[in-house]
Amino acid sequence: MRIHALQTGTVAIKATHLRAHAQARPPRVAAVLRDRTWTDPLPILCWAVEHPEGLLVVDTGETAGAHGPAWHPFSRCTRFAVVPEDELGPRLRAAGLDPAAVRWVVFTHLHGDHIGGLSHVQHAEIVVSDVEWRTATAVRGPLEGYPGRALRHRITPRTVTFDDGPWEGFDASTVLTDAGDVRLVPTPGHTLGHLSVAIEEEDHVVLLAGDATYSEQLLFDDAVDGVTVSASRHRDSRRRLRDLTARRPTVVLPCHDPESAARLAKRTTR
């Protein structure tokens, strides 16, 4: 299977957003708002998987100029650098892939920098967890960094509830492909309906981890990020993800890890 890392620009965030020191959410968020230390620009990655059953895209990255509402306090806590050529459509074409040929788009979660490129692949079957869809399109969605109810007018996704039984250390999963080699597993915490995508290749697993952790290192440091909705669920998801790497050689690919593309290219496992 060919798997492509597609980088749709970069984002710099606050140091305490990348790695929080508090566990409870109010002090974590307050620290991000106060913090004057910025990270280096981090990639905004999404993924294209050339599967025999069809072209799969996981997350759609960010777009030029669309970085959330100015009224939201967090709009001052992120510095995006995205030009039109960075967007998903041009990135797919640069990889020799046709955006119109995308069969599935799976969203790990519905934060703006993961769904920005949706318009490039809107005809595909959109797959998202049921909890994530309901949370993101609720009236309070925009307060939580989601597009809110407007998203309901743009797409009608297939919402999944992880009914295909346990897989490795996960209590539940959804199988995406007939071959059974692409599986969606719940990894809540960063958002309540966050999922990760596990792809089985010969002797290892490629794990598209979204924002379940911001980097492989932070997963093994057992660190929570500054905006995670539920620190306890994030901790539980981290434990299950580390458990997966103990059971199976796993290529861990978070969306904002500067090392993800190189790990994918070399299939570097933990």
Stretch that binds Zn ion, among 166-174, 176-184, 204-212, 238-246 (CB under 5 A): 204-212
Name residues whose C-beta falls within 8 Å of residue 123's C-beta, 6 or more positions apart in sequence.
100, 102
Q: Which of residues 111-130 bind Zn ion (CB under 5 A)?
A: 111
Taking the complex as a whole, the smallest distance from the CB of residue 219 to Zn ion amounts, in Å, to: 15
Taking the complex as a whole, the smallest distance from the CB of residue 112 to Zn ion amounts, in Å, to: 8
- What x-and-dash track marks residues 84-113 binding Zn ion by CB under 5 A? ---------------------------x--
Stretch that binds Zn ion, among 55-63, 211-219, 230-238, 260-268 (CB under 5 A): 211-219
Taking the complex as a whole, the smallest distance from the CB of residue 130 to Zn ion amounts, in Å, to: 18
Residue 211 vs 257, nearer CB to Zn ion: 211
- Examine residue 211 and tell whether it contacts Zn ion (CB under 5 A): yes
Residue 86 vs 211, nearer CB to Zn ion: 211
Stretch that binds Zn ion, among 123-131, 168-176, 207-215, 257-265 (CB under 5 A): 207-215
Q: Per the structure block, which two tokens stand in for 1?
A: 């299977």
Taking the complex as a whole, the smallest distance from the CB of residue 110 to Zn ion amounts, in Å, to: 9
- Examine residue 59 and tell whether it contacts Zn ion (CB under 5 A): no
* Count, residues near Zn ion per rule CB under 5 A: 2
- Examine residue 14 and tell whether it contacts Zn ion (CB under 5 A): no
Taking the complex as a whole, the smallest distance from the CB of residue 109 to Zn ion amounts, in Å, to: 6
Taking the complex as a whole, the smallest distance from the CB of residue 232 to Zn ion amounts, in Å, to: 18
Q: What is the DSSP string of the chain?
A: -EEEEEEEEEEEEBHHHHS-S-SSHHHHHHHHHH--PBPPPEEEEEEEEEETTEEEEE-----TT----TTSGGGGSEEEE--GGGSHHHHHHHTT--GGGEEEEE-S---HHHHGGGGGGTTSEEEEEHHHHHHHTSTTGGGGTS-GGGHHHH--PEEE---S--BTTBS--EE-STTS-EEEEE--SSSTT-EEEEEEETTEEEEEEETSSSSHHHHHTTPPPSS-S-HHHHHHHHHHHHHHHHHS-EEEEETT-TTHHHHHHHT---
Applying CB under 5 A, the residues found at the interface with Zn ion are: 111, 211
